[in-house]
Amino acid sequence: MRAFPPAWRWTLVAVVAVVGLAVAVWPRDHHRSAATVPAASSDPAVSGELRAAAGLPDCPHPVSGTQPVSGGPLAGLTLECLATGAPVDLAAALAGHPALVNLWAYWCQPCARELPALQQYADRAAGAVTVLTVHSDPAEPRGLARLSDLGVHLPGVQDTDSRLRAAVRAPAVLPISVLIRPDGSLARVVVRPFADVDDIAATVDRELGIRA
């Protein structure tokens, strides 16, 4: 076999290197790459069967003739009702009600210990205070399943993007309880889990003036 002259060999090496570089930087199919980007949430839509199995009551409705205070922390905040999937204007829904709004997530262990105590408190208060749960994680089906496992049947909303936490300027921790006056103004943000039902009752009595 005839050998290439040294000059030719170096030319061939240079050509191979240039071709390799062109392949390395050649733009890939844009649409193919974009198709691999995951959506914001991979959880499936919540079925009616799953909502029914959770057995949650409907979300609160405003007291007739009441209006929330202008510029309150919940103003303009609309979330999805866990029981029905319908949108809920929180400021309007809670208008006229003293409320304890509890932020939690299915993976939060302190929340799992606190939620049954919130159910006990709601039963004890018998409507004097609205207790509303706010599932603060995109995985809504897991939130519904967690409530079923805990035997908690409180009205609740889904807050995929933690908008309520941002609205009350709370830190990025869970659980958080937000105490709202009947006029929609903020009484207190409780950044700790409640110890038990008596702790909840004492805090609500002190901040909202309602004994239960």
Give the whole-angstrom CA distance, residue 67 versus residue 94: 9
Give the whole-angstrom CA distance, residue 130 versus residue 93: 10
DSSP bridge partners of 176 = 103
Complete DSSP assignment for 124-182: HHTTSSEEEEEE-SS-HHHHHHHHHHHT----EEE-TT-HHHHHTT--S-S-EEEEE-T
For domain 68-208, give the fold: Glutaredoxin (3.40.30)
Give the whole-angstrom CA distance, residue 120 versus residue 97: 19
Q: For residue 191, count other CB atoms closer than 10 A to its CB.
A: 14
Query: 202, 179 in Cβ contact below 8 A?
Result: no
pTM higher than 0.85, yes or no? no
Domain ranges of the chain: 68-208
Give the whole-angstrom CA distance, residue 86 versus residue 74: 17
Q: Tens digit of pLDDT per residue, the chain (212 long)?
A: 445 455 544 444 443 443 343 333 333 333 322 222 223 344 557 878 889 989 999 999 877 777 777 778 999 999 999 999 999 999 999 999 999 999 999 999 999 999 999 999 999 999 999 999 999 999 999 999 999 999 999 999 999 999 999 999 999 999 999 999 999 999 999 999 999 999 999 999 999 999 99
Tracing tokens 């009441």 back to the chain, one arrives at 66
Q: How far is CA 31 from CA 23, 26, 41, in A?
A: 19, 15, 20
Query: 68, 183 in Cβ contact below 8 A?
Result: yes
